[in-house]
């Protein structure tokens, strides 16, 4: 596999490939050409081949890709061939919703703890976990070697707890807080700014469908 | 204001400008130069000026932008100067979490109904709304002139209900379902694929921080 740097755009498309390949597997399709895949996904066959070439091409012969093999290889590249441990920091509506979302577990993302600073929430059960005091999160990360923190708490205080989690060895932040985290480069941050997504929708509604290029 | 088409990248940055300008307002800052704003936002001053020029430039003089004016103008451009009506289609964990999230209302996004197909959920109260049968959603959209449907339901059945909502006059879809919606161009779709975001995080963790360019 190539060690070249892969562009953000290619990385962003990998989960979508996986989703379509999963659907094909469910339908019992064993082989698919880049042409047929391109028709399904509304992208060009040449983009598919270019994207796959970053990872060695997955050996398309004249008769197309092996769906099961391609699915497994992309899952491996995404890192879904091993488990990831998570904690949820912020047990409000969104934090609890994510904790209850079974699909993440099926993908190997295992939630081991959920934390909040609100005394009214601490001790309450979400799924089979008790919500713990946020001050215990850094030690929990250290003790269990937690890889990912899901940040679902208000902007105020987010930066402070993140600093402590980083000191405790957290490797990635899935950030739902409305704040840009300024962290060392080795820490991976993936932002989901829901309000900003809704505002983009609002912008396009206000300006009409042809407002984007 | 220009009628030229604005690139997706510029549109994506508008909510972030608004967030920083809101913070500045909260801090009591009345004027800011593009240089100082660029330092805060970790973008170049020239990008800020270029972005703002798409909307007429907002009249920066030698002494910088008026923060309150700039905030209001960008809010107007995003369409936050008037209310938007929403329904939530899918009253599972995520749908209920979004229904309970007060910040959207403060921005003028008013949730008027919540629907599900699960008989165990129908009749249950979320905030002060009763969950209604999903089959009633299209008529509700028509009767109340609902602008946006928030799709928080499983992939299966998503396409079917969306088709009916479009026939009933829905204008925008905030799509959390794991499916690419194939809709007429006049319908605005904004996707939030949470699993794909988590997979991007996983990819970067697996490959190391320097895997992206």
* Chain A contacts in chain B segment 28-87 (CB below 8 A): 41-42, 77-80, 84
Do A84-196 and A8-78 have the same topology in CATH?
no
pLDDT recorded at residue A60: 66
Q: Nearest by CB to B200, which of A11, A207, A210?
A: A11
Higher local confidence (pLDDT), B14 or A54:
B14
**Residue A61 pLDDT:** 63
Report the CATH architecture of B84-196: 3-Layer(aba) Sandwich (3.40)
Q: What residue segments make up the domains of chain B, in order of their start?
A: 8-78, 84-196
Q: How far is CA B190 from CA B148, B187, B201, in A?
A: 11, 10, 21
Q: Is B13 on the interface with A (CB under 8 A)?
A: no
The reported pLDDT for the residue numbered B4 is 56
Asked if B147's CB is within 8 angstroms of A205's CB, the reply is: yes
Q: How many other C-beta atoms can be found within 10 angstroms of the C-beta atom of residue A208?
A: 10
- Which residue has tokens 């991976």? A188
Tell me chain B's radius of gyration from C-alpha atoms. 20
Residue B130 has phi, psi (to 5 degrees) of -90, 135
B19, B84, B192 member nearest A197 (Cβ):
B192
Q: What is the pLDDT of residue B61?
A: 63
Q: For an interface test with A, which of B2, B5, B15, B202 has the most A Cβ atoms less than 10 Å from its Cβ?
A: B202
SS3 per-residue string spanning A164-209? HHHHCCCCEEEECCCCCCCCCCCCEEEECCHHHHHHHHHHHHHHCH
Tell me if B104 sits within 8 A of A195, measured CB to CB: yes
Could you tell me if B94 and B41 are in contact, meaning their C-beta atoms sit under 8 angstroms apart?
no
Angstrom distance (rounded) from CA B17 to CA B33: 13
pLDDT at B60: 66
- pLDDT (tens place) for every residue of chain A, 213 residues total: 444 577 888 888 999 999 999 999 999 999 999 899 999 999 999 999 899 888 877 776 677 899 999 999 999 999 999 999 999 999 999 999 999 987 788 889 999 999 999 999 999 999 889 999 999 999 999 999 999 999 999 888 899 999 999 999 999 999 999 899 989 989 999 999 999 999 999 999 988 655 544
In this model, does residue B3 exceed pLDDT 50?
no
> Where residue B7 falls among pLDDT bands split at 50, 70, 90?
confident
d(CA A135, CA A157): 12
Q: Is A88 left (phi over 0), alpha (psi -120 to 50) or beta?
A: beta
Nearest CB to B200 within list A15, A41, A195: A15
Place of tokens 């994207």: A51
Q: Does A100 touch chain B (CB under 8 A)?
A: yes
Question: Please, what is the end-to-end C-alpha distance for chain A in angstroms?
Answer: 35
Position B56 confidence tier, pLDDT thresholds 50, 70, 90: confident
- List chain B residues with CB under 8 Å of A206: 77-79
pLDDT, averaged across chain A: 90
Which chain B residue shows the shortest CA-CA distance from A83? B202
Domain at A8-78, CATH class: mainly alpha
- B44-53 contacts: CB < 8 A, separation 24 or more? B48/B17, B51/B10, B51/B13, B51/B14, B51/B17
Band the pLDDT of B68: cuts 50, 70, 90: very high
Indicate the pLDDT class of residue B103, thresholds 50, 70 and 90. confident
Count of pairs with CB atoms under 8 A, one residue in A, one in B: 191
What's the confidence (pLDDT) of residue A53? 87
At A9 the pLDDT is 85
The pLDDT > 90 percentage for chain B reads 72
pLDDT digits (tens, 9 = 90+) for B117-172: 999 999 999 988 999 999 999 999 999 999 999 999 988 889 999 999 999 999 99
Q: Name the helix (H) or strand (E) containing B189.
A: strand B188-191
Partner residue opposite A7 with nearest CB, options B96, B202, B213: B213
The nearest CA of chain A is from the CA of B60 a distance in Å of 23
- Measured between beta carbons, which residues in chain A are less than 8 angstroms from residue B206? 77-79
Residue (of B181, B155, B157, B154) closest to B170 by Cα position: B181
Report the pLDDT value the prediction gives residue A213, as an integer from 0 to 100: 41
Cβ–Cβ under 8 Å, residues A46 and A53? no
A199/B93 CB distance under 8 A:
no
Residue B74 to residue B208: CA distance in whole angstroms: 37
Q: Transcribe B73-121 into DSSP letters.
A: HHHHHHTTTS-EEEEEE--SHHHHHHHT-HHHHHTTEEEEEEEES-TTT
B105-130 as b/e: b if 16+ CB within 10 A: eebebebebbbbbeeebbeeebeebe
Mean pLDDT of B81-109: 91
| Binding-face residues of A in 184-213 toward B, CB within 8 A | 185-188, 190, 192-207, 209-213
One-letter-per-residue 3-state SS of B8-61: HHHHHHHHHHHHHHHHHHHCCCCEECHHHHHHHHCCCHHHHHHHHHCCCHHHCE
Selecting from B77, B79, B212 the residue whose C-beta is nearest the C-beta of A11 gives B212
What is the reported pTM? 0.89
The pLDDT of residue B183 is 92
d(CA A147, CA B65): 42
Mean pLDDT of B188-208: 91
């Amino acid at each position: 596999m190539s060690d070249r740097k892969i562009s953000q755009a290619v990385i962003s498309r990998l989960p979508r490939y996986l989703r379509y390949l999963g659907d094909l597997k469910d339908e019992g399709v064993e082989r698919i050409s880049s042409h047929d895949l391109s028709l399904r996904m509304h992208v060009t066959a040449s983009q598919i081949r270019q994207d796959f070439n970053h990872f060695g091409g997955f050996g398309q012969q004249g008769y197309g890709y092996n769906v099961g093999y391609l699915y497994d290889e992309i899952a491996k590249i995404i890192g879904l061939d091993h488990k990831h441990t998570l904690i949820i920091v912020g047990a409000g509506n969104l934090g609890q919703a994510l904790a209850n979302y079974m699909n993440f577990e099926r993908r190997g993302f295992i939630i081991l703890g959920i934390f909040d600073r609100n005394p009214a929430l601490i001790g309450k059960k979400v799924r089979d976990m008790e919500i713990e005091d946020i001050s215990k999160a850094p030690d929990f990360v250290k003790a269990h070697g937690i890889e990912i923190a899901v940040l679902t708490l208000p902007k105020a205080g987010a930066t402070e707890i993140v600093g402590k989690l980083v000191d405790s060895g957290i490797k990635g932040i899935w950030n739902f807080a409305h704040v840009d985290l300024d962290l060392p480069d080795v820490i991976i941050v993936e932002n989901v700014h829901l309000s900003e997504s809704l505002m983009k929708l609002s912008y396009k509604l206000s300006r009409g469908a042809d407002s984007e290029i």
